[in-house]
Chain A
Amino acid sequence: MKHLFTALLFLTFGYITFISCTKLEPAAPADDAILDGPVEGLTPDQKARFLRGDVAFNDEIFTAETGLGPLFVAASCGSCHAGDGKGHPFITLTRFGQSDTSGNMYLAHGGPQLQNRALPGYTPESVPAGAPSSRFLPPANTGMGFLEAVTDADIAAMADPKDADGDGISGVCNWIALASYETPSPDAIVWKGKYIGRFGRKAAALNLLQQTASAYNQDMGITSEYEPYDTYSGHSIEPEVSNQTVQDVVFYLQTLKAPIQRTPDAPDVLRGKELFVQVECAKCHKPELKTGYSPIAALSYKTFHPYTDLLLHDMGPGLDDGYTEGHAQTYEWRTPALWGLGLSRNSQGGQYFLLHDGRAHSIEEAILLHGGEAQKSSSLFAALPEGDKNKLLTFLESL
């Protein structure tokens, strides 16, 4: 009888543990507190593909045996984009070799990207003497499928190269040559055999396939059928990552959800949004864009809120590093999307590293470093009463 009682006691104890186990496990963070996760509306097979891409992007760490380097910047995709957010100066991409629209003069010297790390026994690259260079912080990944699905016509419609409306803002497209493996979309606009770039600090990449294949190659020293040349030897070598994996990663990047704004209806956020328009930030950081057709139904014909126009703008001499890509001038930078800005610190080690090279350590500092076409906005912001400044910053933090 006593043994039966003990056995029942154990059974009861076990049962309570069994049914309560999930209650004492950490809850998932709120959807608006994190950047990763898929867009809504994916089919089951698309979700499976998203997960495959997620694993390849965040979990696969390359070694010498699996193709890393021998010269590289990072050993995995995830080490540049922690939590799919903005990068940290620990992984800064140094680009070099081009100072005007005539192209990169240092391709034979390792350009356009410096591989500043190397496997033991190898010597990493250094920027050749006299080569123009700039340091780029890795951007956040989220919502990029939406940006990719914006039509060329919509981007071109926002451009105003000659400032015809006289507002001092003259966004221009970066016209770039097509990589050999790329197929332009049917509605692509072609100008002198070149296409509109939209990804990268200088908008020098056409789409996410180009971004991904070149990141494998230039950031990690991983060759693929798309980018078959080893960055160390310069020779075409066997692919070190499969087309399937590259495409899965592209799909993952395409279907990462757009950041979700937090407390969008808070009075300070609403007032900050008004001020954002009032000081003319919204002239470049366009609050709303829409997608065209996408083979991924969840991305087709959607309205979204990235706060970018995907165009190049003159940002003034203070941000002119003397280096450029494609058709852009050295002082021109593509308007970065502001969505997810308030979550940047969660991927940057608890502090802000803003602007292309992370030189700004607060949103306010980043605004005040805007020059060129954005000088007027910067000055209008600086002239705001302290309370209004804080409301505008609160709005930006909510994105």
Chain B
Amino acid sequence: MRLLLSILSCFIYTAASAQIDSTLLRRKPRDTSALLMNMDAVYNRPFLTVGKMPVALGGYAEANWQHMGTDGVTEGHQFQMRRLTLFVASGITRRLRFLSEIEFEDGTKEINIEFAAVDMELHPLFNLRGGIVMNPIGSFNQNHDGPKWEFVDRPVSATQMLPATWSNVGFGAYGKQYKKSWVVAWEGYVTNGFNDAIINNALGRTSLPAAKQWPDRFEESFNGVPMVTLKGAVKHRKVAEVGVSYMAGIYNRFQDEGMTLDVKRPVKVWAVDANTTIGATNTFLTGEWAWVHVDVPATYSQQYGNRQQGGFLDIVQPVYKGRVAGFDRSVINVACRLEYTDWNVGRFEQTGGNIADEFMSIVPAISWRPGPLSVIRLNYRYNLQRDLLGNPASRTAGFQAGFSSYF
């Protein structure tokens, strides 16, 4: 809470200083070229600069109402402040810059530094980044800002199977090469990694996000072995962007005080992501699919699976562009998200039967974008969750409505 107050105080102080002349407050122009990629999302945000200060500020907030029910049981009307995120960017020198992203989730229940890194530009194909970086696995982890999406909830596969938002302390490099309508990009980082909470958690399933519960993860590595994250992506201005990413590390404490306690147990993740806009209809499609492999000890419970897979596909169709309620640049979209996650891919040792433990959902949506920085959205979510044994699925459904806006 004190951290929140301090940051808000800085904002208020900065704004108050600028009240002398409001024209000093300027929107920093965003790159809207068609060659932006998911990896650019962290910097491609609407920042506000004050006069000639070398610091740019920004952020977004999202809140919603929802009424969901599971098999006839509902918790009624819920009003939620999902997150408030603050960005601070600074040009230290012409080719040295700093950006941080601090997120307050569910009020102040979770306060996370999602990104706090210094970038050094050396060559378009080779730039350095160090600090708390977002591991580029899939696309959603890097491109997760609420106002960019037509859906109140983040994708389940990206946030509950993959650990978006997933940031770690480490270093790496990235680069891009343009050629006519093509752009090719790469990223690679070594960072701290996972810990044994991924198979020792109260969720009752293998969960990469459970690793975020370890409070010391920004100050030390759980086992001293760096995690590697690599991503390559290619984009054609008129066709699509496709990315392939890989993340691998050791999650268990295999030695302590010089004594070997266990073998090294790896966790490996592959992901593919893609997005495109169909020119004829202006339909936007984006999605990702990921595969998770975790070396779970054979003597542990099969409830904690060693393979997971899942992904999502968003289809967004603009149906109206123009003036709505006095907002000249309004866009109204209809959209739909399809999601699937298999939390435990495999078969029971005892029976040979399929291990179910799977989730699927469909989320039709209507969104109104009164401007490019804000979205008001209405979703109807319908989930099916099947347990480990494949018993009749529990059904959850309901409406969600809310807004998300950069500020």
Contacts and interface: CB of A to CB of B under 8 A. Distances in A.
Interface of A: 3, 6-7, 10, 13-14, 17-18, 21-22, 24-29, 60-66, 72, 74-76, 79, 82-83, 88-90, 92, 117-124, 346-351
A65 B196 CA distance: 12
Given A92-B350, A121-B261, A25 B202 contact: no
B326 A25 contact: no
Nearest to A25: B69
Nearest to A60: B202
A17 B202 contact: no
A119 B300 contact: yes
Interface of B: 67-74, 196, 199-204, 252, 261-262, 265, 297, 299-303, 324-326, 348, 350-351, 353, 356, 378, 380, 387-392, 395-399, 401
Closest A-B pairs by Cβ, 3 of them? A28-B72, A25-B69, A349-B389
A60 to B, nearest CB: 7
A315 B69 CA distance: 47
A118 to B, nearest CB: 5
Contact of A63 (B71, B200, B353, B388): B200
Contacts of A61: 201-204
Contacts of B397: 24-26
A347 B401 contact: no
B300 A120 contact: yes
17 contacts: A6-B325, A10-B325, A17-B401, A18-B67, A24-B380, A25-B69, A26-B72, A28-B73, A63-B202, A64-B200, A90-B388, A119-B200, A119-B300, A120-B262, A124-B299, A346-B392, A349-B356
Given A3-B326, A63-B202, A90-B348, A22 B262 contact: no
Contact of B378 (A17, A22, A349): A17
Nearest to A17: B399
B392 A26 contact: no
B180 to A, nearest CB: 44
Contacts of A119: 200, 300
Contact of B300 (A21, A82, A118): A118
A13 B200 CA distance: 45
Given A24-B397, A24-B398, A349-B353, A117 B67 contact: no
A360 to B, nearest CB: 14
B300 A117 contact: yes
B389 A88 contact: yes
A120 B392 contact: no
A142 B67 CA distance: 31
A10 B301 CA distance: 51
A261 B268 CA distance: 49
Contacts of B252: 120
A90 B399 contact: no
Contacts of A26: 69-72, 395-397
A124 B302 CA distance: 14
B324 A350 contact: no
Nearest to B399: A21
Taking each of B196, B200, B356, B387, which has the highest tally of chain A beta carbons within 10 Å of its own beta carbon? B200
A117 B390 contact: no
A14 B391 CA distance: 36
Contact of A6 (B73, B262, B324, B351): B324
Given A63-B202, A120-B252, A349-B390, 5 more contacts: A7-B325, A26-B71, A60-B202, A88-B348, A349-B353
Contacts of A62: 202
A10 B370 CA distance: 13
A305 B261 CA distance: 54
A18 B79 CA distance: 13
Nearest to B252: A120
A345 to B, nearest CB: 8
Contacts of A60: 202
A66 B202 contact: yes
A117 B395 CA distance: 32
Contacts of B67: 18, 21-22, 25
Contacts of A7: 325
A75 B204 contact: yes
Contact of A90 (B326, B350, B392, B398): B350
Contact of B387 (A24, A82, A351): A82
A350 B395 contact: no
Contacts of B265: 120
Given A118-B300, A120-B297, A27 B72 contact: yes
Contacts of A351: 353
A125 to B, nearest CB: 10
A24 B261 CA distance: 53
B204 A90 contact: no
A43 to B, nearest CB: 21
Given A64-B200, A121-B262, A79 B325 contact: no
B401 A14 contact: yes
B71 A29 contact: yes
A263 B177 CA distance: 70
Contacts of B69: 22, 25-26
A375 to B, nearest CB: 29
Contacts of A89: 348, 350-351
Contacts of B399: 17, 21, 24
A79 B73 CA distance: 22
Of the candidates A21, A27, A82, the one having the most CB atoms from chain B within 10 angstroms of its own CB is A21
Contacts of A349: 353, 356, 389-391
A312 to B, nearest CB: 27
Contact of A346 (B202, B326, B391): B391
A7 B370 CA distance: 13
Contacts of B203: 61
Contacts of B387: 82
A72 to B, nearest CB: 8
Nearest to A85: B391
Nearest to A10: B325
Nearest to B70: A26
A351 B348 CA distance: 14
Contacts of A72: 301
Contact of A3 (B68, B72, B325, B380): B325
Select the residue from A13, A76, A79, A349 with max chain B CB neighbours within 10 A.
A349
B66 to A, nearest CB: 9
A25 B68 contact: yes
B131 to A, nearest CB: 30
Contacts of A13: 378
B73 A22 contact: no
B72 A29 contact: yes
A3 B300 CA distance: 62
Nearest to B348: A90
B239 to A, nearest CB: 37
Contact of B303 (A3, A75, A92, A347): A75
A89 B300 CA distance: 16
Given A24-B397, A90-B388, A347-B389, A76 B204 contact: yes
A62 B203 CA distance: 9
Contacts of A18: 67
